[in-house]
Structure formats: C-alpha cells, structure tokens
C-alpha cells in the first residue's frame, strides 16, 4: 500500500479513494490499539520487576 520506507506521503493520500482511505484508517486504528496494549503489558512487567527488586 505504501512505499517500503514507511514514510507516509501526504500527497499520496490525496489520490486515495474514500473507500481506500476508510479501510486504511480502520486498519491503522487497530494497529495503534494493539501497540498500546503491548506497551501497557511491557510497562506492567517493568513495574512488577521494580516492585520485586529485579535489576539485571
């Protein structure tokens, strides 16, 4: 969908159809939500280690 360098070119978005932009938006929102969950899990693990005195 986008170039391999993952740089979102705003000018490319102008050429996308409404349907394509909607599909991409939904996919992107899901990706953000998933990454937020991963981040929360990692933060919880760091907090658990700090509480239990783990320092490696």
Domain boundaries, the chain: 16-52
According to the model, what pLDDT value does residue 12 have?
A: 82
Torsion angle in degrees (nearest 10) through CA of 20, 26, 29, 35:
-100
Average pLDDT score over residue span 14-28: 94
Contact 2, 12 (CB under 8 A): yes
Does 26 score more than 90 pLDDT?
yes
pTM here is 0.64
According to the model, what pLDDT value does residue 6 have?
A: 54
Question: Given pLDDT bands bounded at 50, 70 and 90, which one contains residue 10?
Answer: confident
| pLDDT, tens digit, 9 for 90 and up, residues 29-51 | 999 999 999 999 999 999 999 99
């Amino acid at each position: 969908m986008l170039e391999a360098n993952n740089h979102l070119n705003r000018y490319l978005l102008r050429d996308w159809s409404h349907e394509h932009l909607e599909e991409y938006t939904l996919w992107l929102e899901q990706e953000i939500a998933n990454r937020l969950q991963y981040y929360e899990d990692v933060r919880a693990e760091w907090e658990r280690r700090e509480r239990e005195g783990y320092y490696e």
